[in-house]
């Protein structure tokens, strides 16, 4: 249970952090090609507008491209 709680808390923290990068880029007119939570191979994703939203296999990071 502790491992699951840790993964969930880290996931929320990473999501909020990357969302800040996403909003900052959008606010100044920079195109965001990809918003990814997790690293490694893609598990789930979809495209909306110009941005591809992805959840990847390793939940220890994320990035905004």
Q: Which residues are catalytic?
A: 18
What is the spatial distance between Cα 49 and Cα 5, in angstroms, rounded to a whole number? Answer: 33
CB atoms within 10 A of CB 18: 17
């Amino acid at each position: 249970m502790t491992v699951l709680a840790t993964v969930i808390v880290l996931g929320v923290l990473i999501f909020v952090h990357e969302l800040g990068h996403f909003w900052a880029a959008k606010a100044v007119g920079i195109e965001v090609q990809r918003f990814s939570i997790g690293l490694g191979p893609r598990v789930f994703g979809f495209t909306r507008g110009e941005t591809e939203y992805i959840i990847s296999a390793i939940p220890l990071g994320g990035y905004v491209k």
